[in-house]
Amino acid sequence: MSTFIQTVIVGLRLGSVYALIALGYTMVYGIIRLINFAHGDFIMVGGYTIIFTVPLALALGLPAWAAVLAAIAVCALVGMGTEIIAYRPVRKKGTNMSALITAIAMSLFLENLAQAIPAIGPNPKVADQMFTAGGFRIGSVTFEYTTVITIVISAVIMVVLYMFTQKTRLGRAMRCVSEDKAAATLMGINVNHTIILTFAIGSALAAVAALMYMAQYPRIYTTLGSDLGIKAFVSAVLGGIGIIPGAVLGGFVVGLFESFTTSYISSSLSDAVVFLILIVVLLLKPAGIMGKNVGEKV
Amino acid sequence: MPDQERIPVLETRKLGISFGGLKAVSDFNIQIYQGELVGLIGPNGAGKTTVFNLLTGVYEPTEGTVLLNGVPLNGKKTHQFVAAGIARTFQNIRLFGQMSVIENVKAAFTKDIKYNLLDASLRTKKFRQAEQEMTDKAMELLRIFHLEEAADLPASSLPYGRQRKLEIARALATDMKVLLLDEPAAGMNPTETAELLECINTIRDRFGIAILLIEHDMSLVMNVCERIQVIDYGVTIASGLPEEIASNPRVIAAYLGE
């Protein structure tokens, strides 16, 4: 029984990291119908920013995790910059396909740019301890502080984000732009600003995900984003891409399946099971778990 | 009759646009005064919707100017046209179907944002007040259109005629000076059309705004508009009182073919 509970907890921890990243994919897809392949690499950017600013945080007498504030700022800037410099011009001139290729190019660009920076280089870097080590026990189940913090903070962020999109004017503007850009602009909504805001929020979430990930696996390398990103992308598609609660649900489904496969079957099969689940869900519900199958309007 | 001393709310001077070599609209001049209801008619493909797109900044004119209260709007973006006071509805209804009726109206208040992200995340008094004010204003508009009891339903669940009314309510919520209605009676049955007419008259009297109406339904235009402008092939062929238009040989020729 304790193994079971432990497995659930690990699944929730993994799931909350995937969910945070999946939110970035899904929000951007929701608003401009673009799969932002560079999103995974924003995690890598966040990770390195944390590594480089931890000494600064410590020097200021702050805890190591405070470096995430710098990472949030840097990631938001990189996200907004990517939209303004790379995606927007292509979207204006080209087709969806050219935008998609641009996203892949941005991903490769960020990965290789990181490698080319001497302070980063191709070798993995090891991060400091982010949160207090150790944990507590309830019965025979161990709760690591890192795990508890990860789950709680992610849950809070997701609730706040949901409230933001549902209850605030900017959130409403985001939903308007996502439904119909032309109608939104005729409501006086500045579509470009709304898109940039979406990128900023999605990228900031990637920075938080980087912190959560590093707290558990303190090894950062330049292609980290592709590995983590693909699972988060699977989560977003699984839940129904473009749907915010779907991304959260997808993240937890992927996290739990991964955790259960690792603990009860084999860790080497965990990825295979995740992708198998994706295939099964998409066969049964092509628009994802929470997606609505919309027939083509004639 | 419009008072010639006053500045028109909406005015165009030699407005025109070409797509490649094709002149879709040329030398389009119109003046609309506060409280006036003007009709823009013309056969299919005459350029009526293109005029609307020019008046809302969706297209940038290749010649001429759009003036709002005497101020030219050249080079402005669509959302800035809206902020300046021009609102429109669409020929095919374009509501935010997945959002509720009241949220559709609230969407139009976005540009008047008074609180920032920090207020929103801390749910400060300023945030709650602004949201409450918005809800009140939105409900007031919905009441005019008898949509208040449907406020929390998804917009897409409303019947066609009521969706059209919601679209007009949403346009009014942008706090505009000029309302452009693109074929508001399209696809409506006679009862719905009659209700719509009443609606248009109500909002004009109540809000004192200027309305420009594109319409195919000639009887509707003849009944409600004070002045009518007729275009064909992007060129104004007549403009005047409904009776003058109805008997104008050029208009008859354009509609019936020579």
C-alpha–C-alpha distance, residues B234 and B183, integer Å: 18
Q: Is the pLDDT of residue B101 over 80?
A: yes
Taking all residues of chain B, what is their mean pLDDT, rounded to a whole number? 86
For residue B82, the model assigns a pLDDT of 87
What is the identity of the amino acid at A251? G
pLDDT tens sequence across B216-229: 777 778 888 889 99
C-alpha–C-alpha distance, residues A55 and B87, integer Å: 54
Count Cβ atoms within 10 A of the Cβ of residue A192 and give its class: 0-12 exposed, 13-18 middle, 19 or more buried. middle
Residue from A21, A51, A19, A27 nearest A39 by CA: A21
**Contact assessment for residue A183 and residue B104, using Cβ atoms and an 8 Å cutoff:** no
Is there a contact between B109 and A176 if contact means CB atoms under 8 Å apart? no
More confident residue, B220 or B179: B179
Q: How many CB atoms lie within 10 A of CB A122?
A: 10
Per-residue confidence of chain A (298 residues) as pLDDT tens digits? 788 999 999 999 999 999 999 999 999 999 999 999 999 999 999 999 999 999 999 999 999 899 999 999 999 999 999 999 999 999 888 888 899 999 999 999 999 999 999 888 888 888 888 887 888 888 888 888 989 999 999 999 999 999 899 888 889 999 999 988 888 988 888 999 999 999 999 999 999 999 999 998 888 999 998 889 999 999 999 999 988 999 999 999 999 999 999 999 988 898 899 899 889 988 998 888 888 766 554 4
| Distance between B27 CA and the closest CA of chain A, angstroms | 25
Helix or strand or coil: residue A266? coil
For residue A73, the model assigns a pLDDT of 97
For residue A222, the model assigns a pLDDT of 92
Angle between the N-to-C axes of helices A224-239 and A39-59, in degrees from 0 to 180, rounded to the nearest 10: 120
**Contact assessment for residue A42 and residue A206, using Cβ atoms and an 8 Å cutoff:** yes
C-alpha–C-alpha distance, residues A252 and A245, integer Å: 11
ipTM > 0.85 (yes/no): no
Touching check for B117 and chain A: CB below 8 Å? yes
E strand intervals along B54-123: 63-68, 71-72, 86-88
For residue B189, the model assigns a pLDDT of 83
For residue B139, the model assigns a pLDDT of 92
For residue B199, the model assigns a pLDDT of 84
Find tokens 């823009």 and name the residue: B40
pLDDT tens sequence across B190-204: 888 888 888 888 888
For residue A298, the model assigns a pLDDT of 47
Nearest to A188 among B99, B121, B174 (CB): B174
B211: alpha, beta or left, given left = phi > 0 and alpha = psi -120 to 50?
Answer: beta
Contacts of residue A185 in chain B, CB cutoff 8 Å? 77-79, 82
For residue A235, the model assigns a pLDDT of 95
Could you tell me the sign of the dihedral formed by the alpha carbons of B40, B45, B49, B55, in that order? Answer: negative
Is there a contact between A170 and B121 if contact means CB atoms under 8 Å apart? no
Nearest to B108 among A180, A187, A190 (CB): A187
Give the domain ranges of chain B.
Answer: 10-96+163-256
pLDDT band at B4 (very low <50, low <70, confident <90, very high): low
pLDDT tens sequence across B115-132: 666 676 667 787 888 888
For residue A294, the model assigns a pLDDT of 60
Parallel, antiparallel, or unpaired: how do β-strands B37-41 and B210-214 relate? Answer: parallel
Span B249-253, mean pLDDT? 85
CATH code at B10-96+163-256? 3.40.50.300
What whole-number percentage of chain B has pLDDT above 70?
Answer: 93
| Distance between B89 CA and the closest CA of chain A, angstroms | 9
| Distance between A263 CA and the closest CA of chain B, angstroms | 39
Parallel, antiparallel, or unpaired: how do β-strands B37-41 and B22-32 relate? Answer: unpaired
Give the domain ranges of chain A.
Answer: 17-225
C-alpha–C-alpha distance, residues A190 and B79, integer Å: 6
Is there a contact between A190 and B107 if contact means CB atoms under 8 Å apart? no
Q: Which of B96, B166, B174 to mutate to test the interface with A (most CBs of A within 10 A)?
A: B96
For residue B254, the model assigns a pLDDT of 81
Q: How many CB atoms lie within 10 A of CB A70?
A: 18
What DSSP state is assigned to residue A86? I
Q: Is the pLDDT of residue B12 over 90?
A: yes
For residue B216, the model assigns a pLDDT of 73
Nearest to A187 among B110, B127, B131 (CB): B110
